[in-house]
Amino acid sequence: MLEFNPINLEQHQDLCVQFRADSFVCSFGSADRFHEEDGNGAERYLLWLKQRIAEIPNSCVHIWKGEQIIGQMEMRRWKHNPRVGYINLFYLIPKFRGQGLGQQLDQYAANWFKQLGCQSARLSVSPMNLAAMRFYLKQGWIDLGPREDALEVHYFEKTYEADER
C-alpha cells in the first residue's frame, strides 16, 4: 500500500530535483531542458515548487512505500480553466515502474481533483516516452495531440465521473 504525503521540501529538496530531472530524461532523453542553458533550472524549479506548496497545500506529494520515497506528484488547477486539473509531474522511480502502482497514483489524482470540483484533468507527455503514453491510454486518458505552445509534447485529458451522492 502506498502513502501520499505532502513534500517536506526542507528535508527532500535534493530528491525532488533528482525526480524532476529524471522525468526529463524519460521524456526527452536528457535532463538538459530541465537544467536549462544557464544551469540554474534546478534552483528555479525549487522556487516554483516552494510557491506551489505554499499556494495549494497537499498539491505536491511524495509517494511512500514503507520507509522509502518512491515517487512524486505535482498537481494544480489548469491555468486556462479552474474546473480542469493539471498534473505537472507524475513520477515513480524506475525500480517501481511496471508493477501496477501507477494506477494508485492515477486514482489519487482523480480523488484530489474531484475534491477541488474539477471535472477533468490534463497533463503533458512526450511521445518519446512510450511507456508513459501506453500507461495513460490504459488508464483512460485521451491523447489530444500536440500542445500549441510546445509541439514536442501532447496534451492528455481524462474526464471524471461525478460521484453519486
**Plot region of 41 (φ>0 → left; ψ -120 to 50 → alpha; else → beta):** alpha
161 band by pLDDT with thresholds 50, 70 and 90? confident
At 47-91, the pLDDT tens digits run: 999 999 999 989 999 999 999 999 999 999 999 899 999 999 999
Mean pLDDT of the region 100-125? 95
Count other Cβ atoms within 10 Å, centred on residue 53: 18
Q: Is the distance from CB of 16 to CB of 49 less than 8 angstroms? A: yes
Task: List the CATH code of the domain at 3-159.
Answer: 3.40.630.30
Going from N- to C-terminal start, the domains of the chain cover 3-159
